[in-house]
Amino acid sequence: MTNESDATTSTDVDWDARAASFDDEPDHGLRAPDVRRAWAERLRGWLPGRAADVLDLGCGTGSLSLLAAEQGHRVTGVDRSSNMVALARAKLAGRDAVFLVGDAAEPPVGEERFDVVLVRHVLWALPDPGRALRHWRELLRPGGRLVLIEGVCGTVTPAGIPADRLTALLAPLAGQVRVDRLSDDALLWGRAVDDERYAVVATV
């Protein structure tokens, strides 16, 4: 997740300009083995136990896409920033993965359907999160799931989407909704955090 100063301006961020240094944050690049392992273990618990088709929206440099691919899943990543997509393509070269430039709210995937829509730190910045969620549900196969990793970043100028607001938006769309609280797991972030961080797994 972005730091305090980023949190105030995330909707206006020039992601193309930030792409080259994006992975410098521990939870972005997942370069430290313990941080990487922590995310891999969480992801294994959120994704299906069999090989699945995963749509990673706002995929950034593809760090979560790579973990999913390493766990045997087929990945389609979408990001509006062409620089982010170029880095994701390089990161997953030779893997069962494709990356597209496009809007996460209306990904350019045509009639293709997925077992998982995976979104980390993107939903809150979309102009109409409820509309995006309704569209994402339509992109899922029967029994598919939304895996949404979000939070409220920063304590001085908080920015984000609280878990109770997200679960309220999901209530009419999903059958089972599970919330995993992530704030206490410092390994995920590479440091202790005191703001709200969570993952929602919503099965349709």
Ligand X SMILES: C[S@@+](CC[C@H](N)C(=O)[O-])C[C@H]1O[C@@H](n2cnc3c(N)ncnc32)[C@H](O)[C@@H]1O
Nearest 5°: the CA angle 107, 7, 122 is 15
Least spacing, CB of residue 13 vs ligand X, in Å: 7
Residue with tokens 């392992």: 37
Q: Which is nearer to ligand X, 58 or 190 (CB)?
A: 58
Q: Which is nearer to ligand X, 66 or 140 (CB)?
A: 66
Least spacing, CB of residue 93 vs ligand X, in Å: 18
Provide the token pair at 105: 């709210």
Nearest 5°: the CA angle 11, 7, 172 is 65
- Interface ranges with ligand X (CB under 6 A): 15, 28, 58-60, 63-64, 79-81, 84, 103-105, 120-122, 125-126
Least spacing, CB of residue 115 vs ligand X, in Å: 18
Residue whose beta carbon is closest to ligand X: 60
Residue pair 104/83 in contact by the 8 Å Cβ criterion = no
Residue with tokens 């969570």: 198
Cα–Cα distance for residue pair 144/195, rounded to 1 Å: 30
Task: Name the β-bridge partners of 149.
Answer: 120, 199
Least spacing, CB of residue 15 vs ligand X, in Å: 3
Single out the residue of 22, 17, 20 nearest to residue 3, CA to CA: 22
Least spacing, CB of residue 124 vs ligand X, in Å: 10
Q: Which is nearer to ligand X, 91 or 163 (CB)?
A: 91
Q: Which is nearer to ligand X, 86 or 125 (CB)?
A: 125
Q: Which is nearer to ligand X, 104 or 140 (CB)?
A: 104
